[in-house]
Structure 1
Amino acid sequence: MSTLHTGARTHRRVLPQPAALESVPADNPGVGTKRGTDIPRTAQAGRRDTGVQHGRGETTGGAPVPGGVAAVPAGRKPSSTKQHSATQQNRTTRITSSPKQSRFTADNAVVFVLDRHKRPLMPTDCKRAKKLLARGRAVVHRKVPFTIRLKDRTVDQSMLEPLGLGIDPGSQHTGLSLDKTVEAVDESTGEVTTTRTGLWLGQLDHRGQHIHLRLVARAQRRRGRRGRNLRHRAARNRNRSVRVGWLPPSVQHRVDSTMTCVTRLQSLAPIASLRLERVSFDTHAMTAPGISGLEYQQGTLAGTEIREYLLAKFCHRCVYCDATGVGTGSVPLNIDHLLPRARGGTNRVSNLVLACVRCNQAKGARSVDAFVTDGVRRARIKAEAKTPLRDAAAMNACRNRLAAELDATGLPVEWASGGRTKWNRVRNGVPKDHSLDALCVGAVDVIVRWVPTVLHIQCVGRGRYQRVTTDRFGFPRSHRPRRKQHYGFITGDLVKAVIPTGPKAGVYRGRVIVRSTRTFRLVTPTHRYDGINCRYMTTMQRGDGYSYKARPSLQRRLAPHGDQTKAA
């Protein structure tokens, strides 16, 4: 064992190289070998321009390949130490690129990558994933979100970059954003600029309202059975004790579904930090703004974000002419009083609506009954204005629990306000969307770009525990089988059906609804097909309680800081 004395200078060629740059042989013979020794000589003679195949698909021979990798013919050493250093630097850039040379452009979608032990590596693009699959160096691990698993790479042999996960929680939808944040320091001024690139976007749709309605219907049936011509029985909930920290099932579902997505993304990408938008709604102050002192009973009036609540409530549109405040042709929106202040109106949230500048000036001090002549529109405006604050109350109930669950993951969590998110979105010209709001959460100066697709995740559940189907009076009607799996399929599985002949001949992909017979129902994003025999189906991915659908993401309206020449 040789010893290097302190202060001695060692030649660069004898220094240990990064593990990510070492050649790792693949499982298939002849692919990924260092010098092509497993390839027959006849094949080597005809493939001398292919060069050396490295760990993540880099080639070092023949013509230059895109991405800035230097071309070095196989079996030839660099002519000088300087050239060798430049080659190694280019290879490093190929694996862990800087924000200016990132592979994730607006035309690429991200593909998650796992090592041979199913541990997360850095995501890649579709083109690189196709090459790895075609060469036999990777296999498909999961269909949605699309994930591949490398056969010849481990975490110790790879170079990882810390990624961040932004979360924009909501009562009905939660935005998710997997991104990379880089801080650059200006040497002349010492100013630190934070840039962020969106690698993956997702939107999670909760089913909390559906759970609430099902629980209400169950309570009504039980209440009817107790008092309808039968012996009265006391309600069971009066004999039960509520544990500390208990949340209603409809509220607990929002926390559980969000944490499920966070945990799954942690298993697919090297997430090093979390960002959460904590929005608190003061529903008492929103209902009665003038209340104070002993009547309030809840402390100071803090945390109220009425403007953001009204924008979400009326979907960024004018209630009088349906003019939108987002997208192409957007107009400025003002807060208008249905009953003007001059006529005794208050600032209660039920008296506030959104109106464009033109309609607000035309309405003036008139009431909504005198300004709107259309009876249908007038009734709709009044109904929307009196919408209860269920969504705001649900977020107040679950925001602290969600924050505690994220702290339990052990990752650093950055808290941000809704005002900071909107400020980042407006100054960077980012359109309004749940997934893009998650990208704007936290401290950031410039948002470079984001992927062109958003994965729409909808909570559909895993079926019912109830084995007895009841009629509208709550009495048993039929019994469901206890066995949920039929002929190897479970409701919710993602399948591929290849029907060779008949009126339904073709190839279909979608979720399956099983039956006790051999004919199932197949649900695609656009149609439903009944009576498809299970022998034509092949399982692509087991059902996990969610349905997935990709949709295009919104494009940037303005360039960062209003520069129109750099619009993405």
Structure 2
Amino acid sequence: MTTFNSVFVLDTTKKPLTPCAPARARALLRDGKAAVWRTVPFTIILKAAMPDAVVKLLSCKIDPGSKTTGIALVDDDNRVLFAAELEHRGKAIKAALDSRRSLRRGRRGRKTRYRAARFNNRVRAENWLPPSLQHRVETTMTWVNRFRRWADIAEIAVERVKFDMQQMNNPNIAGVEYQQGTLAGYSAREYLLEKWGRKCAYCGAEHVPLQIEHIKPRAKGGTNNISNLTLACEPCNTRKGTKDITVFLKNKPDVLKRVLAQLKKPLTDAAAVNATRNKLFTDLLKTGLPVETGTGAQTKFNRTRLDYPKAHWIDAACVGESGATVTLDPDMKPLLIKATGHGTRQTVRPDKYGFPRGGAGRVKRVHDFQTGDLVRLNQPKGKYAGEHVGRLAGIRATGMFDIKTELGKITASFKNYTLIQRGDGYAYAH
């Protein structure tokens, strides 16, 4: 049986109460004791005060990631009440900045238009991060602050150290006790799993036990440095033995080329997480709440010991020392949150040569609707006659709007639309 997230509850003064089960929320709505405050995440507000209402303090647990961040709300009994996975748009931001930069440089270099280069003497703010990385921090903080408005959060737990590059390259640099403790090997193994895509580097086998394999065998002078390690299934590891990789893969030149290229390539996701972890930790401290930190190795140790599957929201629930005894339903359906942005501020579009031509529409709202709004369409007739719920994918000054539904894109007049929830820069799904 699938478990769904709890429903956020606000009292008559908009102060958060303990989230309740969906069945309890339906009963309150049916009896007229509450009203819908927000559709996604589903939140209700009471119409009358409930003096006997119990308020439980919750913990907001975060597993930061370069592409997706896991978030879990845990009560004082260490049970997960709400889970979400936040998908960032860092790559889209970087692509937009790269495109703009290339167009500007192209215009500057042409004889048809001269534009002097800027001097590189602008001072960056302290702890400056590239926009694609700053976005990860800001979106995570946005949802932490939102959850604080909808639930009584007393503390925060965050995975601060994802990968310790120096310690993996040189295990004896410091913390010998840590390397020989209960978590020994977890940081290196998790790094290799992320880098090699959780599959055998030689045959591509997935969902099988993987072993740490030395590219250059130890018998021939190979080291334990992370730059000499990969993952292999047991049959491949046994067949390779102490052979040199060029000998082992002499009949598979494409695989050999791929493995050697991947070996030299750093894990960019690890670099992104490492670059933002301190900034996120500093911003979380500014909330005034106590912040517990944990390592990626500790998170994985807790999850594997409790025999929970791999998922971003489950990793978030297992962060820190409190994650060692967390209780959750692996079949729980987390809320999937995708950062989509609020449109573009670019008022002039370039042509294929990079020159400004025409202009973008400056009016974002038409008939009080905007792209990204969650709406209900009551189509009176035609192929798509009936009621449809979705997000506006495009609006026009003519009043004909597009809506994304399970049946595809539907175009209808604005008169047939009813607003459910304003677009807030995020798309939601389960």
TM-score, reference length from structure 2 = 0.88
Aligned to 2:325: 446
Deviations 1:68-111 (A, max 9, x none): xxxxxxxxxxxxxxxxxxxxxxxxxxxxxxxxxxxxx9645411
Alignment-mate amino acid for residue 263 of structure 1 = N
Deviation at 1:283, TM superposition (A): 4.4
Correspondences of 1:56-67 after superposition (within 5 Å): none
CA–CA separation in structure 1 for the residues paired with 2:14 and 2:119 = 45
> Could you tell me which of 54, 71, 85 is aligned with 1:176?
71
> Could you tell me which of 12, 35, 45 is aligned with 1:139?
35
CA–CA separation in structure 1 for the residues paired with 2:37 and 2:107 = 50
Aligned to 2:294: 416
Deviation at 1:446, TM superposition (A): 2.7
Instruction: Label 1:459 to 1:448 Cα distance change in 2 as closer, same or farther (>3 A).
Output: same
3-state secondary structure, aligned to 1:415 = strand
1:336 aligns with 2:232: no
Alignment-mate amino acid for residue 177 of structure 1 = A
1:270 aligns with 2:152: yes
CA contact (8 A) 1:280 1:304 kept: no
Deviation at 1:483, TM superposition (A): 1.0
Aligned to 2:96: 214
Stretch of structure 1 that moved more, 127-136 or 465-474: 465-474
Alignment-mate amino acid for residue 334 of structure 2 = V
Aligned to 1:122: 18
1:490 aligns with 2:370: yes
Deviations 1:155-200 (A, max 9, x none): x653211111110111111110001133xxxxxxxxxxxxx21111
Deviations 1:184-238 (A, max 9, x none): xxxxxxxxxxxx2111111111111221122122111111111122565443362
CA contact (8 A) 1:521 1:528 kept: no
CA contact (8 A) 1:172 1:206 kept: yes
CA–CA separation in structure 2 for the residues paired with 1:268 and 1:469 = 40
Correspondences of 1:25-174 after superposition (within 5 Å): 107-153=3-49, 158-174=53-69
Alignment-mate amino acid for residue 217 of structure 1 = S
> Could you tell me which of 83, 87, 91 is aligned with 1:201?
83
CA–CA separation in structure 2 for the residues paired with 1:467 and 1:279 = 41
Aligned to 1:397: 275
Deviation at 1:309, TM superposition (A): 1.6
> Could you tell me which of 359, 370, 388 is aligned with 1:508?
388
Instruction: Label 1:467 to 1:427 Cα distance change in 2 as closer, same or farther (>3 A).
Output: same
CA contact (8 A) 1:338 1:352 kept: yes
CA contact (8 A) 2:134 2:276 kept: yes
CA–CA separation in structure 2 for the residues paired with 1:260 and 1:321 = 42
CA–CA separation in structure 2 for the residues paired with 1:107 and 1:207 = 28
Alignment-mate amino acid for residue 148 of structure 1 = I
CA contact (8 A) 2:186 2:301 kept: no
Deviation at 1:320, TM superposition (A): 2.9
CA contact (8 A) 1:167 1:174 kept: yes
CA contact (8 A) 2:4 2:333 kept: no
> Could you tell me which of 377, 380, 398 is aligned with 1:517?
398
5+ residue gaps, structure 1, are 1-104, 183-195, 293-302, 326-330, 551-568
Greater RCO (Cα-Cα under 8 Å, separation 6 or more): 2
CA–CA separation in structure 2 for the residues paired with 1:529 and 1:210 = 23
Instruction: Label 1:465 to 1:527 Cα distance change in 2 as closer, same or farther (>3 A).
Output: farther
Instruction: Label 1:289 to 1:117 Cα distance change in 2 as closer, same or farther (>3 A).
Output: same
5+ residue gaps, structure 2, are 174-184
Identity %: 44
Deviation at 1:343, TM superposition (A): 5.3
CA contact (8 A) 1:469 1:476 kept: yes
CA contact (8 A) 1:350 1:387 kept: no
Alignment-mate amino acid for residue 366 of structure 1 = K
Computing the radius of gyration from Cα coordinates, the structure with the larger value is: 1
CA contact (8 A) 1:363 1:371 kept: yes
TM-score, reference length from structure 1 = 0.68
CA–CA separation in structure 2 for the residues paired with 1:304 and 1:468 = 51
Aligned to 2:176: none
Alignment-mate amino acid for residue 242 of structure 2 = A
Alignment-mate amino acid for residue 320 of structure 2 = G
Deviations 1:277-320 (A, max 9, x none): 1115454676x65999xxxxxxxxxx993322221223322233
Stretch of structure 1 that moved more, 482-491 or 312-321: 312-321
Alignment-mate amino acid for residue 371 of structure 2 = T
Aligned structure 1 segments of 4 or more residues deviating by more than 6 angstroms: none
CA–CA separation in structure 1 for the residues paired with 2:34 and 2:99 = 50
Instruction: Label 1:348 to 1:523 Cα distance change in 2 as closer, same or farther (>3 A).
Output: farther
